[in-house]
């Protein structure tokens, strides 16, 4: 039996190829390195939904469409305001997306009769914008500020910065957010994506599938790892503490270095090297290079250690993305909702791909007791 379904093929997909041996990531035929340099996040979403890049008119239309559809219903805003202010941002996002279904006329669309999947595409566009708005809105709500509606003249990354800060979106911050979203938009049959496809296979609605995906992403073994990586850097505190921390904590207690090692990649995660350079540039431009120096020193310590070398453990996407987001003043517990802002493109692409497919129902190898005799209550 393959524990955790390692190596088990569960279906075909045209969304992405993850080659962990060679350290390659390809979205619908395009290398992630090219997309990170050139693509707007909305271009990547279009690519994943349609298996081709948009022309200029199509891209302009999609940017406008997402911005227009990103507004949250008043009922969802009021629900978020009623939640405890110390609620975890991912738990709030999970609740908000589930609640959005009640205000969406398309939410109960029948996947069987939607032959051209046009309703599913509308929902994908809407949820892509609304998840971004909800993520920014909660940060303002929990700090006693009124949430801001998205602007029709901004793309998604710019709108997020605007809705978070209430000021004109800074170009550097917007570009950094855009690169982050592009890099995390899709990644094969990861845990949350698989969850979304399982739910879709039951002929459930898209909001249910995405709510379930968010629940899976919340765990620190998956999407929550970026927050855990930053908490780790904060615990180390200073670059000069790295060696002592690594030797006394990681090696002595046999603990993981959060953000180093990946279930699939046995070579450097291509997203990590891209994010490392963005983290370096942002740190230098901000005038505070401490957190980047801690991360880089810890990386060097790990990659020189026999344990990490033997197991081919390298920094993954969470490692340097934590530095990028922290330098942009994103609260640590909000890192994972930004992951969801990106992965909604991949999730919805997989949901659309799964529609009309067979119910996902694997077998399990029973290893429990057999042929027990029934015991009356007084004999137990």
Catalytic residue from among 187, 205, 207, 262: 262
Question: For the residues 100-113, what does the mean pLDDT come to?
Answer: 85
Q: Which two tokens stand for residue 304?
A: 């020189």
Q: Look at residues 111, 100, 185 and name the one whose alpha carbon lies nearest to residue 351.
A: 111
Question: For the residues 254-265, what does the mean pLDDT come to?
Answer: 82
Q: Which two tokens stand for residue 377?
A: 């209550």
Per residue in 133-186, pLDDT (tens digit) is: 999 999 999 999 999 999 999 999 999 999 999 999 999 999 999 999 999 999
Q: Look at residues 323, 322, 327, 90 and name the one whose alpha carbon lies nearest to residue 226.
A: 322
Question: For the residues 99-110, what does the mean pLDDT come to?
Answer: 91
pLDDT at 1: 56
Among 28-37, 265-274, 347-356, the least confident range: 265-274
Above pLDDT 70, what percent of the chain?
Answer: 97
pLDDT at 127: 98
Q: Known catalytic residue: 278?
A: no
The CB-based long-range contact list for 147-155 (8 Å cut-off, 24+ gap) reads 147/72, 147/77, 147/80, 149/71, 149/72, 150/67, 150/70, 150/71, 151/67, 152/64, 152/67, 152/68, 153/67, 154/67, 155/40, 155/41, 155/42, 155/63, 155/67
Domains of the chain by range and CATH? 13-220+334-354 (1.10.580.10), 225-327 (1.10.230.10)
Residue 180: strand, helix, or coil: helix
pTM over 0.75: yes
Q: Known catalytic residue: 371?
A: no
Alpha helices in the chain (DSSP H): 32-38, 41-50, 56-69, 74-82, 89-100, 118-141, 156-165, 171-184, 191-201, 206-217, 225-236, 242-245, 252-253, 270-286, 290-303, 306-310, 317-327, 335-354
User: Which 8-state DSSP code applies to residue 144?
Assistant: T
What lies within 8 Å, CB to CB, of 370 at 6+ separation is none
pLDDT band at 112 (very low <50, low <70, confident <90, very high): low
Per residue in 24-53, pLDDT (tens digit) is: 999 999 999 999 999 999 999 999 999 999
pLDDT at 254: 66
Catalytic residue from among 104, 205, 269, 318: 318
Q: Look at residues 15, 320, 70 and name the one whose alpha carbon lies nearest to residue 180.
A: 320
Q: Which two tokens stand for residue 85?
A: 């202010």
CB 214 within 8 A of CB 340: yes
CB 137 within 8 A of CB 237: no
CB 67 within 8 A of CB 150: yes
CB 109 within 8 A of CB 205: yes
- Report the 10 Å Cβ neighbour count for 337: 28
What DSSP string runs through 317-334? HHHHHHHHHHHTT--GGG
């Amino acid at each position: 039996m393959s524990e955790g379904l390692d190596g088990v093929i569960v279906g075909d997909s045209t969304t992405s190829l993850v080659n962990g041996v060679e350290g390659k990531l390809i979205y619908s035929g395009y290398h992630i390195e090219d997309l990170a340099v050139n693509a707007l996040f909305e271009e990547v979403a279009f690519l994943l939904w349609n298996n081709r890049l948009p022309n200029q008119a199509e891209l302009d239309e999609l940017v406008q469409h997402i911005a227009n559809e990103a507004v949250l219903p008043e009922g969802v805003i009021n629900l978020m305001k009623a939640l405890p202010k110390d609620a975890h941002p991912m738990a709030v996002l999970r609740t908000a997306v589930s609640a959005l279904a009640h205000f969406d006329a398309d939410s109960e669309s029948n996947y069987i009769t939607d032959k051209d999947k046009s309703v599913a595409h509308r929902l994908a566009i809407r949820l892509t914008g609304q998840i971004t708005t909800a993520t920014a809105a909660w940060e303002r709500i929990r700090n006693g500020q009124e949430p801001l509606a998205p602007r029709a003249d901004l793309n998604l990354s710019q709108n997020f910065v605007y809705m978070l800060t209430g000021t004109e979106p800074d170009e550097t911050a917007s570009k950094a957010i855009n690169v982050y979203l592009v890099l995390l938009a899709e990644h094969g049959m990861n845990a949350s994506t698989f969850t979304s496809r399982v739910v879709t296979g039951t002929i459930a609605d898209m909001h249910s599938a995405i709510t379930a995906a968010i629940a899976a992403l919340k765990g620190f073994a998956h999407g929550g790892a970026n927050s855990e990586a930053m908490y780790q850097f904060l615990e180390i505190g200073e670059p000069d503490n790295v060696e002592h921390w690594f030797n006394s904590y990681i090696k002595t207690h046999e603990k993981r270095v959060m953000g180093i090692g990946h279930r699939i990649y046995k070579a450097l995660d291509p997203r990590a090297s891209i994010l490392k350079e963005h983290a370096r540039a942002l740190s230098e431009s901000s005038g505070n290079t401490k957190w980047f120096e801690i991360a880089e020193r810890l990386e060097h310590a790990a990659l020189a250690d026999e344990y990490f070398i033997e197991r081919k453990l390298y920094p993954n996407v969470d490692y340097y993305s934590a530095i990028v987001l922290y330098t942009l003043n994103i609260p640590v517990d909000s890192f994972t909702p930004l992951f969801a802002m990106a992965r909604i493109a991949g999730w919805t692409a997989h949901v659309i791909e799964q529609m009309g497919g067979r119910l996902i129902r694997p077998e399990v190898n029973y290893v429990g007791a057999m042929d027990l005799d029934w015991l009356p209550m007084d004999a137990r």
